[in-house]
Structure 1
Amino acid sequence: MIHWERYRTIRFEKHDRILVATLNRPETLNAVTPEMHGELVEMFSDFDQDASSDVLVLTGAGRGFCSGADLKGGVSSVDPTETAERTFREARRLISSILETDKPMIAAVNGPAAGLGVTLALFCDIVIASERARLGDTHVKVGLVAGDGGAVIWPLLVGVNKAKELLMTGEMLDAQEALRIHLVNHVVPHEDLIPTALEKARHLASGNTFAIRATKRAVNVYLKWMAAQVLDLSLSLERLSFERLFRPEASKQGPLSS
């Protein structure tokens, strides 16, 4: 039995065999702290093992889905040798835990989804966005590389050149533009977001469990292959950019060379 009540930064509700997970730091647009980052890794693994849940709906509390990493503490609060080591190690586990589960996952994007937040949404199997949603990988805007999954998933969804444009500019897209370029599956009125996500989840939960999960497993072989090709390098480059940002001496090493 999974003890969902032990989580501190994510809230859970059960709707029959549907698990609704709500990122629960609304005062920061659900920005990801080290604690939440660790809980996200556990959450996907726990969901995979939970015999009472067939479908996951992931959303955010308040006005936002997830605004990415919480950097509000500034340089003084960040230990690049300890926090970064743990976080980047967990980042590999996070993407792996998402790709390893055969159960369907739906992102209900209720507001801004940026950085790691948009990565979480896009790695779900179905992305349903509120008309109020805005989506973008904004790593570059704070001087970081989009390494924690963005370099894997964006080219697969929108094509290589469009992905490079959006990742290198950090542009935030409104919901209709995200739909137009196939970044999300559906856009609905804000008040219909959760009902629509639950309706889709019920449809999946009532289907042939083996066929649905086996189909997802087959498709995920391609995603896993892409992650295996890209993720180690992209995370290493993100960590390098993190060190250059938060350790002045690292920035003196000069530009990136091949």
Structure 2
Amino acid sequence: MTDTYDGYERLKFDWPAERVLRVTMENPGRMNAADSVMHGELVKVWRDIDEDPRVNAVIIRGAGDAFSGGGDLELVKEMTQDFNTLNRVWKEARDLVYNVINCSKPVVSAMEGPAVGAGLVAGLLADVSIASRTARIIDGHTRLGVAAGDHAAIVWPLLCGLAKSKYYLMTCEPVSGEEAERIGLVSLVTEPEDLHDKALEVATKLAKGAPGAVRFTKYALNNWLRMAGPTFDTSLALEFMGFNGPDVQEGLASLKEKRKPNFDPESPL
């Protein structure tokens, strides 16, 4: 008998507690960067979780010492050269945001190291976001040469206000886990060695709660995000328009120069 999650390649699954599913993003040697396979799987997994009666709560984390190192540069390059790829990734980016928001099961994220790109979408849209003090949260859109679209335009202003959002989204300055908690970007901050235990503690508490009450509370609160739908759609369109412009070519060249072999941990996208 096949399991719901058997077909996944970049996402790994385990059950650390009763009715708690843990999803681990894994792209070895790439700091869990979201390549074409992972990007698609991050879209699909939330539908599978939503329909899985065994799951009451979810943890999303990265393998090793990184949450997600950003977008795969080969995929970005392909997007600038092939319309079908660009169109597919645009649809996936839209669905990823809405699928996390609409997943009825509560999601807990455990972020350490670099937290960038598609992984960060799930990290910040999680119902309870937990970061280690040494996490480096970066929205790398403008560094790449495109507008800060997808989740950023809807969730950052709600979490930490417009002034902080403009600063971090336009400058791509990294936000430490400690600073992220201070400005309200994440729910909790922990010491690095305590991160995964804390995530499991919170997820277990949610899994043991009244399922209907927890899920409908999530649904009601996420209406704030759904109300921002027009802003989200516009920001996503502006982002993907940029892949046909000159800025992204300069951004790609700069990032390729900065990234060292085996993915320099100081150089996430």
| 8 Å contact from structure 2 (residues 57, 107) kept in 1 | yes
- Which residues in structure 2 correspond to 1:101-112 (within 5 Å)? 101-112=103-114
Matched, 1:94 2:96: yes
Matching residue of 1:197:
199
Over residues 6-53 of structure 1, what are the superposed CA-to-partner deviations in whole Å (9 max), with x where a residue is unaligned? Answer: 100110001320000000014111111111111111101101011101
| 8 Å contact from structure 2 (residues 33, 71) kept in 1 | yes
Matching residue of 1:150:
152
| 8 Å contact from structure 2 (residues 115, 136) kept in 1 | yes
- Which residues in structure 2 correspond to 1:47-126 (within 5 Å)? 47-72=49-74, 75=77, 79-126=81-128
CA-CA distance at 1:81 after TM superposition? 0.7
Distance in 2 (CA, whole Å) between partners of 1:88 and 1:99 is 17
SS in 1 for 2:213: helix
Q: 1:80 to 1:245 in 2, by over 3 A?
A: farther
Q: Which runs of 5+ in 2 are unaligned?
A: 250-269
CA-CA distance at 1:148 after TM superposition? 1.4
Distance in 2 (CA, whole Å) between partners of 1:74 and 1:206 is 41
CA-CA distance at 1:161 after TM superposition? 1.7
- Which one of the candidate residues 184, 187, 190 is aligned to 2:189? 187
Matched, 1:232 2:233: yes
Q: Which runs of 5+ in 1 are unaligned?
A: 249-258
Over residues 216-247 of structure 1, what are the superposed CA-to-partner deviations in whole Å (9 max), with x where a residue is unaligned? Answer: 11111111111x12121111111111111488
Distance in 2 (CA, whole Å) between partners of 1:94 and 1:62 is 23
Q: 1:245 to 1:27 in 2, by over 3 A?
A: farther
Over residues 52-78 of structure 1, what are the superposed CA-to-partner deviations in whole Å (9 max), with x where a residue is unaligned? Answer: 011010000112101221115774785
Matching residue of 1:254:
none
- Which one of the candidate residues 143, 154, 164 is aligned to 1:162? 164
Task: State the AA in 2 paired with 1:40.
Answer: L
| 8 Å contact from structure 2 (residues 46, 99) kept in 1 | yes
Matched residue pairs, number? 247
Distance in 2 (CA, whole Å) between partners of 1:57 and 1:194 is 9
By relative contact order (CA 8 Å, sep 6+), the higher-ranking structure is 2
Q: 1:74 to 1:164 in 2, by over 3 A?
A: closer
Matching residue of 2:245:
244
Please say which of residues 114-123 and 165-174 is displaced more in the overlay: 114-123
| Aligned residues: CA RMSD | 1.8
Distance in 2 (CA, whole Å) between partners of 1:216 and 1:50 is 17
Matching residue of 1:14:
15
Over residues 148-178 of structure 1, what are the superposed CA-to-partner deviations in whole Å (9 max), with x where a residue is unaligned? Answer: 1111110010111210111000110111111
Task: State the AA in 2 paired with 1:186.
Answer: L
| 8 Å contact from structure 1 (residues 115, 146) kept in 2 | no
| 8 Å contact from structure 2 (residues 111, 123) kept in 1 | yes
- Which one of the candidate residues 173, 176, 184 is aligned to 2:175? 173
Percent of pairs with identical residues: 38
Q: 1:145 to 1:18 in 2, by over 3 A?
A: same
Q: 1:72 to 1:86 in 2, by over 3 A?
A: closer
Distance in 2 (CA, whole Å) between partners of 1:41 and 1:246 is 27
TM-score by length of 1: 0.90
CA-CA distance at 1:118 after TM superposition? 2.2
Distance in 2 (CA, whole Å) between partners of 1:245 and 1:178 is 32
Task: State the AA in 2 paired with 1:220.
Answer: N
SS in 1 for 2:66: coil
Distance in 2 (CA, whole Å) between partners of 1:155 and 1:192 is 28
TM-score by length of 2: 0.87
SS in 1 for 2:146: coil
| 8 Å contact from structure 1 (residues 67, 116) kept in 2 | no
Q: 1:85 to 1:111 in 2, by over 3 A?
A: same
